[in-house]
Amino acid sequence: MKKLITEVAGIVEAPVDTVWRDLAAAMLPEGKRTPGSYTVDDFPGHTSTVEVTGTTMAFQGGWWYRGEWSVTPHPQGALLTHRVFNIAQRASWGVPLANRLFIGFRDKTRDGFIESLTRMGNRLGCPTRLA
């Protein structure tokens, strides 16, 4: 079962396929940008499973974390959405406690998303903004 913890979205004034290619290039190793399921090393001692389908990618690692990124059409270009889920199968009640009740988590996720959105706009040479 997936329980949504936080969600943030932004508009990128570029075509969906352009935004998707840029997102995939920024987040996935070359050779792992096509549909499928892959294992990637996030940082020393930690791996995640990455699922790529259409214009959505999901990173799943640890006992509770799943982060999903998707790109969908928007009247001004593309809508980039990032969602974080609790996917713990057992002891899901412990996830908020282990993460200090997620105090500040939404703000940190939003701030990181804004930075990523700004970098993407700079790379693509187009306006971006929160949705």
**pLDDT tens, residue by residue, 14-32:** 999 999 999 999 988 888 8
For 54, the domain range is 3-130
Q: Identify the pLDDT of residue 76.
A: 97
- The percentage of the chain sitting over the pLDDT mark of 90, rounded to a whole number, equals 56
Domain count, the chain: 1
Give the Cα-Cα-Cα angle 124, 37, 28 (nearest 5 degrees): 25
**Rounded Cα gap, residues 3 and 16, in angstroms:** 27
Average predicted confidence (pLDDT) for the chain: 88
CATH number of the domain residue 69 falls in: 3.30.530
**Rounded Cα gap, residues 12 and 24, in angstroms:** 15
Q: Which stretches in the chain have pLDDT values below 70? A: 43, 90-103
